[in-house]
Structure 1
Amino acid sequence: MPQLFLNEKSCETTADPDRVNHAMTEMVEAVLAVAAVDRQGTALITQADSLLALELAPGHPIGKWMGAPSTDEVLRLRLKRLDDRSPYRTVFPEGETFSDVGYQYDGETVEGLGYAHLLGGVGISLPLEARWNTDRITLVQERLTDDDEDTDSVSTEVEVRHAARALHVDTHLQWIERGANTARQEAVEGLRSGSELWERWPELYPLLQFTPGAERHFVELPEVWVRPVGERLGELQDAVSDWDPAQHPIAPQWRSDVRTEFEMRRKLCWFPDTDGESRLFDWHCEFLPKPGRMHFRLVHEERTLRIAYVGRKLGIK
């Protein structure tokens, strides 16, 4: 569950408006790169009372970035939809204040980066200064110790995961994926119906697409197939997340047995697509107990796949 803690010190740099807006765009791209791997678990936590109250630089509220002509509308909307748990204290464990520990960087107190270390998250910074242009930051942690006779403190160097640009996220992908996969598996194990699986696919499998007609097939899915289908969807999600069509122009590197249908059976694999046009969905995978099948087609231009059918093997009763 990658909680992203904004480094408040990176919002104290005076810079011209265009430079601040560009830095914010780069940071948002980093945040969304994390969310692309773990949409359900990603949350952005800032020092402000809310994301919309955030000041990116002295005299430069976040509204200036959102209203700038250069700001991509898609980035703005995706950021607003992200889980916002500001301010920092809202994610503290109940009853915890962390009053016995503090963090410094370059001799300055850094709260956001410190909480990222304490709570196992990632520090996020606006790349307005060279010191924030890194995927890891070393902090000095100072923790109070209380023995029977005296109260003292101990200083220790600690490292925190960090990102200011999307390329920094690449070094943390395996760690993020492990956490996302664990959370996804726990969620799938708790599902009892195809309807529940269908309702949760946007958060569990955000990179996959489905045709409008696929909903009916999921709703009709017997309980014995719910978990196996959820696991297969997870494997497809992981394959798509790593897919580079330039290196693998035909298909992603699948995590399980995935193949196209035999030519004589392809006539069974035509389904209405999202635009209403009938298209061939002959890529498929199996799931137990037999004869479970899931049919989809690759959408190369969007680097994803679109699922049209899940249920019994087509053409058999």
Structure 2
Amino acid sequence: MSLLLVLNELSYRETKARREEVSDSLHGLVGLLRKVRQHRTDVALVTERRFFDLDLGDDYSVREWAGDGRNRDALRYLRGMRQRAPFRDVAPADLRDGTEYFHRERPAEGLGTAHQVGGLAVSLPLAQLWEEPLLWLSQRGLAEDDAGAVALTEAEVDVRHASRSEHVDEHRQWLCDSELTRIHTGSDLWEAREDVFPHLRFLPRVADDLLRLAPAWLNPVKERLADLELAASAWAPAVEAAPRWRSKVTPESETRKALCRFVDTDGQAHLFDWHARFTPGAGRLHFRMDGARQQLVVAYIGAKL
């Protein structure tokens, strides 16, 4: 299932910002979307209407912005994004019907949609109000009590949020974990690998390793791969020889390195002596570092070689 990034309509309606500020905020949105896609490639942008039909304040529109040649690269990126609209078509009917959301007493359909679908709300940073990685909403609806009477209910809920690319760092762990919860078999893990672990590359032979993976090892392997993904995503190969590992990672001993050679997709045998551990038992995940691509190349997942 795609991760939905829901654009908060309150962040651009009735704005008093100048056109230049609004334009800059759209470029900021593109930077934010790029940052999210460093962690998850299976994303879609959700808007109240088709993105290119949006009005940004009183006298500016996305179409006007798109017509400015200075925005060509940002426009191309947005056109390449998977998009969905309107809000009402995104959330399941049993969740959306009869439920309303408010932010500081203003109806907040986009923020509410992000909460309902477990997505990430995104805003144009045109007001201090949207400078937070977490927003609180009032959720109101009708519910039947034990006596059968229908009454208005109200609860305070939070929604993950970003208006700047820096906010994405606050959600890095969640961006990876949110998709991992939907993986129930080694086959699922193989199929989802490119979306969930964009900084890891798996040799084709690993597909068989995952198909044969013992059920008791599925969750530990998911956790270890998530640790490696987060470490690789924050890695700066130009200044660091290796990522800052989030679990125990070591190279194999000299006497055992001969066991760690695997043929990569270039047809050459490479040394995959770096390894992470997982339990129960002596589980090993062997990989090598590819600094040129800021990736870790996974060659083996299974019992100790």
Give the TM-score normalised by structure 2: 0.71
Structure 2's unaligned 5+ residue stretches are none
In the alignment, the residues of structure 2 paired with residue 259 and residue 234 of structure 1 have an alpha-carbon distance, to the nearest angstrom, of 17
Which stretch of the first structure deviates more once superposed, 62-71 or 19-28? 62-71
The aligned residue for residue 183 of structure 1 is 182
The aligned residue for residue 240 of structure 1 is 229
Give the Å deviation of 1:112.
0.9
Select which of 201, 212, 215 maps to 1:224: 212
**Paired residue type of 1:137:** L
Structure-to-structure mapping, 1:32-71, within 5 angstroms: 32-40=34-42, 42-48=43-49, 50-56=50-56, 58-61=59-62, 64=65, 68-69=69-70
1:299 is the counterpart of 2:298: no
In the alignment, the residues of structure 1 paired with residue 201 and residue 4 of structure 2 have an alpha-carbon distance, to the nearest angstrom, of 26
8 Å Cα contact 2:189-2:210 kept in structure 1: no
8 Å Cα contact 2:30-2:77 kept in structure 1: no
Give the Å deviation of 1:126.
0.6
The aligned residue for residue 272 of structure 2 is 281
Select which of 26, 29, 32 maps to 1:27: 29
In the alignment, the residues of structure 1 paired with residue 243 and residue 95 of structure 2 have an alpha-carbon distance, to the nearest angstrom, of 49
In the alignment, the residues of structure 1 paired with residue 222 and residue 79 of structure 2 have an alpha-carbon distance, to the nearest angstrom, of 25
Structure-to-structure mapping, 1:1-317, within 5 angstroms: 3-12=4-13, 13=15, 15-40=17-42, 42-48=43-49, 50-56=50-56, 58-61=59-62, 64=65, 68-69=69-70, 77=77, 80-82=80-82, 84-94=83-93, 97-99=96-98, 101-144=99-142, 158-184=157-183, 186=184, 188=185, 191=187, 198-210=190-202, 214-215=203-204, 217-218=205-206, 220-221=208-209, 223-225=211-213, 228=217, 232=221, 234-243=223-232, 244-245=234-235, 249-255=241-247, 258-266=249-257, 269=260, 279-285=270-276, 294-300=285-291, 302-308=293-299
- Per-residue Cα deviation, 1:186-212 (whole angstroms, up to 9, x for no partner): 2x35x2xxxx754432123222124xx
8 Å Cα contact 1:298-1:306 kept in structure 2: yes
- Per-residue Cα deviation, 1:142-162 (whole angstroms, up to 9, x for no partner): 4457899x9875666554332
Distance 1:7 1:160, change over 3 A: same
In the alignment, the residues of structure 1 paired with residue 100 and residue 141 of structure 2 have an alpha-carbon distance, to the nearest angstrom, of 6
In the alignment, the residues of structure 2 paired with residue 165 and residue 96 of structure 1 have an alpha-carbon distance, to the nearest angstrom, of 29
RMSD: 4.4
**Paired residue type of 1:161:** R
**SS of equivalent residue, structure 1 residue 183:** coil
Give the Å deviation of 1:11.
2.7
**Paired residue type of 1:252:** R
In the alignment, the residues of structure 2 paired with residue 209 and residue 237 of structure 1 have an alpha-carbon distance, to the nearest angstrom, of 13
Distance 1:28 1:311, change over 3 A: same
Give the Å deviation of 1:23.
1.1
**SS of equivalent residue, structure 1 residue 113:** helix
8 Å Cα contact 1:207-1:237 kept in structure 2: no
Give the Å deviation of 1:241.
1.0
In the alignment, the residues of structure 1 paired with residue 214 and residue 26 of structure 2 have an alpha-carbon distance, to the nearest angstrom, of 41
Distance 1:139 1:264, change over 3 A: closer
Distance 1:182 1:310, change over 3 A: closer
**SS of equivalent residue, structure 2 residue 198:** coil
- Corresponding residue pairs, total: 297
8 Å Cα contact 1:205-1:234 kept in structure 2: no
Distance 1:295 1:174, change over 3 A: closer
Give the TM-score normalised by structure 1: 0.69
In the alignment, the residues of structure 2 paired with residue 118 and residue 291 of structure 1 have an alpha-carbon distance, to the nearest angstrom, of 41
8 Å Cα contact 1:240-1:303 kept in structure 2: no
In the alignment, the residues of structure 2 paired with residue 62 and residue 260 of structure 1 have an alpha-carbon distance, to the nearest angstrom, of 54
In the alignment, the residues of structure 2 paired with residue 283 and residue 141 of structure 1 have an alpha-carbon distance, to the nearest angstrom, of 49
In the alignment, the residues of structure 2 paired with residue 125 and residue 288 of structure 1 have an alpha-carbon distance, to the nearest angstrom, of 41
In the alignment, the residues of structure 2 paired with residue 287 and residue 158 of structure 1 have an alpha-carbon distance, to the nearest angstrom, of 36
In the alignment, the residues of structure 2 paired with residue 281 and residue 219 of structure 1 have an alpha-carbon distance, to the nearest angstrom, of 17
8 Å Cα contact 2:53-2:62 kept in structure 1: yes
